[in-house]
Structure 1
Amino acid sequence: MRADVVFPGNGMSLAGHLYTPDVPDGVSGPLPAIVIAHPWGGVKEQTAGLYARRLAGLGFAALAFDAAFQGESGGEPRFLEDPFQRAEDVSNAVSYLTTRQDVDPDGIGALGICTGGGHITYAAASDHRINAVATVSAVDIGSLLRDGLGRTRDPAAFRDVVAQAGRLRTEEALGASARLEHILPEEVDESTPVHVREGHDYYRTPRGGHPRSENAWVLRSVDRIAQYDSFARIDDLAPRPLLMIAGSEAATAYFSREAVERAAGPKELFRVEGASHFDLYDKDEFVTAAVAKLTRFYTSHLRRSRAVQPTA
C-alpha cells in the first residue's frame, strides 16, 4: 500500500511515498521502518521507490522521498545539489517517521542508493535514531566530483570549476538564473565510457526515466560539494551495523570497499556477482539478491514490533 506524504525540512516541504505492507487481520503494533535516499539526479519514483515497494512487501514501512530541490519537494533554485542538505533531509525523514503511530520510533533504519548511500551514512554518523545503515552502489559525491570516477581527474580542473562557482553566485545575485548542466550526456555512442552509457540507459530511456528526473544540476553546487566527504565519520556509526552492497562489476565498487575498511564495525561488504552499478537499480536478478540480503540485515537489527508475514 502506498501513501503520498509531505513533511517539513528546513523550511521546505519534502514529498515522499510511504509504502507499508498489507497487514493480516488481527495483527497490530508499530512497524520497523526504513528511510530510502535516491541517487543524484533521481527521484522517489525510480530505484528508491522500487526498493521501497519490495521491502514493504517483506514487512517493513519504507519511505522513499524526493530530496530538497528535487522532484516534488520544495526548494529553489531547482536542481541545486547540496549534500549537507541531503543528509539533513534524511534526518527530517526520520523525524517524520517518529511521529507516525504505525512506525516503531526505535526501529528505524536507512538505505541509500548511489550518492544517497553517502548521504544516509553521513546523516547516521550523528543521528543515532538510525539504528541500521545499508547502501546499494554507494558513491561519495564529494570524491566523485573532486577526484573523478576512479580518481582520474586533474585536481587543477576541479579548482577551476570551484572558482567558476563563485562567479556564478555573483551572477545570480545580480539577477541571472541558476546555470544548469547535464549530469549525463543526452546522447551516447560506442566511444562513451561504459559506466556513462549504462547511466544513460537507465535515466534517459523508458527503462528508468521519469519526467521529474531531468538530468540537470546547478553548476554552482560544486562549491558545496567540494567541502563534503560522505564517509568522513563513518567510524561513528559503531556499534550500529553497516551493510554496503556493491556489484562485482561496478566501476563505483571501490567507494563501498574503502568505506567498509574505514568503518569501526559491525560491518559487511556484500558483493552481488555479475552486477554493475546500474544493474542494482532495477534488474530483477540483481535487485532480488540485494533485497534478500537487506531483508536479513534489517530483520536482524531493527526491532520487529509487528509480526508481519512476507507477501512478496
Structure 2
Amino acid sequence: MIVEKVSFNIDGTPLVGDLYKPASTGKAPAVAIIGPMTYHKEQAPTEYAKRLADRGFIALAYDSRYRGESGGEPREWENPAHKVADLKAAVNYLKSRDDVESGQVSILAICQGSSEAVKAAGELPDLHALATLAGHYRDAEGDFEWLTEDGYAARKAAGEAAAKKYADTGKVDYVKASDPVDVNVGMPGDFVFAWYGPWADRGIWKNRYAVMSDADLLSFESISAVPNIKAPWLMIHGDNCFLPSAAKRHIGAIAPTTKHEVVWNDTPHLSYYDQPDVLEEAADRISKWFNNANTSNHSGLGAA
C-alpha cells in the first residue's frame, strides 16, 4: 500500500492525517475513520486504515482538533461537536480528491467516535455507508449508567466551572485522561488505563484531559440524530462491549426505511482496538458492508 501524509482545514485549523491507499491505480472508494475518546490516529484508526487499504479502500486516519498532529487550542480539549464537524470535513476532503470515487465515501467509527459518527451521518445526506464498532453511544440513560447521576452532575459542574475560567482568564485546568485509581480523570479505571497507559509511556498519546471538556462532552447526545441517518448502517457490538443497552436503544431508533445490520457477539470491547484476529474479522465485515451498501434493504441481528 501507499501511505500519504495529508492535511485539510476546518474553520481555519489544520487537521492532519495519514492516508492509506491501495497500490493499484485509478479511483477507489474511501473511508474516514474516527477513533475513541481522546484518541490519536496512530491507535485503532491506523489499524483499520491499513486493513481497509489492503481491501481496496483509500482510508483516512486523522487527528481531530486539539490532539496529535492536528491544530487547535486548548490542547487535549474533548469537544464532541467539534469532532462531528471535523469528521464531516474529513468526508468532504476525501470527496474532493481525484483518486476517490466521490459517491462512495463512508465512515468507520470506533468506541465514542461512534456517537459523533451517528451525528455526522445524520447531517450528511450523501454519505455512502456507516460502520460503528464497539460504540459508546450517548444518551441520558447511558451517561448515568457510565458515571452515575451524581457523578455525571459533579463532572458537568466542574467542566462548566473550568470552561468559565478559560473564558475569563485563558487558563486551562487539566487532569489525567486516564488513571487506574483516580476517578477524577477523563476515563477512570484500570481497565481503560491498562490499554492507554503504554501509549503514554511510548510518547505516542498524551495522558492529559482539559477539565472544561466535560462541559461539552456531557452536553452531547447522539440518539436524536439516529432517525435522520439515511446511509446504510452496520453496528458491531455485544454484551462485552461498553453500554450494550445504549447500543440497542440507538439501533432501535433507526428509521425503518434505512438499511441496517447488527452483528452482536461476545468479543471484549478493547479487543477491537488491537487484537489481530479481531481486527481482520471486523475489517472483512466492514469492507463487505461498504461494498454492498447499495444492495436491497435488510435489517436485524446478525450472527457473530
TM bracket, shorter-chain basis: 0.7 to 0.9
- In structure 1, stretches of 5+ residues that fail to align are 189-194, 304-312
Q: Is the 8 A contact 2:129 2:293 kept in 1?
A: yes
The amino acid of 2:157's aligned partner reads A
> What is the alpha-carbon root mean square deviation over aligned residues?
2.4
Residue of structure 2 in register with 1:108 after alignment: 105
Look up the SS of the partner of 2:178 in the other structure: coil
1:198 maps to which of 191, 200, 206: 191
Give deviations 1:12-52, integer Å, cap 9, x for gaps. 100101000111xxxx5311000000111211001011001
**CA gap 1:179/1:302 in 2 versus in 1, 3 angstroms:** farther
Give deviations 1:174-216, integer Å, cap 9, x for gaps. 435311122321569xxxxxx943322221126x975242122
| TM-score relative to the length of structure 2 | 0.86
Q: Is the 8 A contact 2:226 2:254 kept in 1?
A: yes
Residue of structure 1 in register with 2:298 after alignment: none
Look up the SS of the partner of 2:234 in the other structure: strand
**CA gap 1:196/1:245 in 2 versus in 1, 3 angstroms:** farther
1:236 equivalent to 2:228? Answer: yes
**CA gap 1:143/1:292 in 2 versus in 1, 3 angstroms:** farther
1:287 maps to which of 279, 282, 285: 279
**CA gap 1:77/1:277 in 2 versus in 1, 3 angstroms:** same
User: For the residues of structure 2 that align with 1:253 and 1:170, how far apart are their CA atoms?
Assistant: 34
- Comparing 53-62 with 250-259, greater Cα deviation is found at 250-259
**CA gap 1:170/1:235 in 2 versus in 1, 3 angstroms:** closer
Alignment of 1:77-226 (within 5 A): 77-140=74-137, 143=140, 146-149=143-146, 153-154=148-149, 156-175=150-169, 177-186=171-180, 196-205=189-198, 211-226=203-218
**CA gap 1:6/1:177 in 2 versus in 1, 3 angstroms:** same
Q: Is the 8 A contact 2:138 2:223 kept in 1?
A: no
Residue 256 of structure 1, CA deviation: 2.4
User: For the residues of structure 2 that align with 1:237 and 1:176, how far apart are their CA atoms?
Assistant: 38
**CA gap 1:145/1:166 in 2 versus in 1, 3 angstroms:** farther
The amino acid of 1:17's aligned partner reads D
Look up the SS of the partner of 1:18 in the other structure: strand
Q: Is the 8 A contact 2:32 2:61 kept in 1?
A: yes
2:44 maps to which of 28, 38, 47: 47
Residue 10 of structure 1, CA deviation: 1.5
- Comparing 31-40 with 169-178, greater Cα deviation is found at 169-178
User: For the residues of structure 2 that align with 1:57 and 1:127, how far apart are their CA atoms?
Assistant: 26
The amino acid of 2:96's aligned partner reads T
Question: Stretches of 4+ moved more than 4 A in 1?
Answer: 141-145
Residue 247 of structure 1, CA deviation: 4.0
Residue of structure 2 in register with 1:308 after alignment: none
Look up the SS of the partner of 2:236 in the other structure: strand
1:38 equivalent to 2:35? Answer: yes
Residue of structure 2 in register with 1:191 after alignment: none
Residue 59 of structure 1, CA deviation: 0.3
Give deviations 1:231-281, integer Å, cap 9, x for gaps. 21211113x2110112442233333222111112311111243x1110111
Look up the SS of the partner of 1:268 in the other structure: strand
Identity %: 25
Q: Is the 8 A contact 1:186 1:204 kept in 2?
A: no
1:258 maps to which of 238, 249, 268: 249
Residue of structure 2 in register with 1:59 after alignment: 56
Look up the SS of the partner of 2:248 in the other structure: helix
Residue of structure 1 in register with 2:72 after alignment: 75
Look up the SS of the partner of 1:78 in the other structure: coil
User: For the residues of structure 2 that align with 1:210 and 1:295, how far apart are their CA atoms?
Assistant: 31
Aligned residues: 287
Residue of structure 2 in register with 1:270 after alignment: 263
| TM-score relative to the length of structure 1 | 0.84
The amino acid of 1:100's aligned partner reads R
Q: Is the 8 A contact 2:162 2:172 kept in 1?
A: yes
